[in-house]
Amino acid sequence: MKSDWIDVIARKDLGPGQSHFIEVGNNTIAVFNLDGEYFAVEDACSHDGSRMLSCGVEARFIVHGARIMCPRHGAEFCIRTGAALSPPAREALATYPVRVDNDQIQIQHQNKG
């Protein structure tokens, strides 16, 4: 399996408390700026795969707690680790390494090719 660093957004365009989405293959990945640190999780609830942040329904994104809440049944996840913090979700969200290169925020994504 090969991994690539993929440009997501310019650092200046993702301020503290903001999130941004990128489609990579069949996955939607959400990238967050939490007080200057960047994190990326797959935007697919581990309860039943629903999109949480890019579904058009407002999900709660609590910056200081670094949590997101799925708008369907209320499961909460840690943005930093992907860990499930409350039921009905039990499994963590997939997370991705993030770096800044030449002022571009990038995520590392595994390719199956």
Kindly list the residues in this chain that would bind ligand FES in the complex (CB under 6 A). Answer: 45, 47-48, 50, 70, 72-73, 75, 88-89
Nearer to ligand FES, 16 or 74 (CB): 74
The SS3 assignment for 11 reads: helix
Q: Compute the least distance from the CB of residue 15 to ligand FES, in Å.
A: 27
E-strand ranges in 11-113 read 19-24, 27-34, 37-42, 60-62, 67-69, 76-78, 95-96, 98-101, 104-111
Q: Compute the least distance from the CB of residue 73 to ligand FES, in Å.
A: 3
Nearer to ligand FES, 8 or 44 (CB): 44
